[in-house]
Amino acid sequence: MELIRKVSVGPNPKDCMAYSVGQSVIDGSYKITDIILDDRTLHKTTVHKYDIYVEKNNERFLWKSVMNCPCVVENDLKFD
């Protein structure tokens, strides 16, 4: 599984919405924990769908799904 660090949504990277792991959202109450490419949707429909998960009080929720939109994806490069 690839580790996605950031997804920028929109046709123009200068004017897009960007979501990053670690970013505070929803009035600063939640923090983005994961951005995941939905493999099932990709294989079934060939549509790229990114699920964005947030956490508050150790509970994780699906916050947004971005699909069928122009996106720029930044992978998390972790070296051991």
Tens-level pLDDT at each residue, the chain (80 residues): 558 999 999 988 788 999 999 999 989 899 999 999 999 999 999 999 999 999 999 999 999 999 988 999 999 877 66
Structural domain count of the chain? 1
Give the pLDDT score at 48. Answer: 92
Judge whether 56 lies within some domain.
Answer: yes
Among 77, 79, 65, 78, CA closest to 7: 65
- pLDDT of 78 reads 72
Please state the pTM of the whole predicted model.
0.87
pLDDT at site 2: 59
Residue 20 falls inside a structural domain: yes
Rg (CA), the chain: 13
Q: Is 22 inside a domain boundary?
A: yes
Structural domain harbouring 40: 4-75
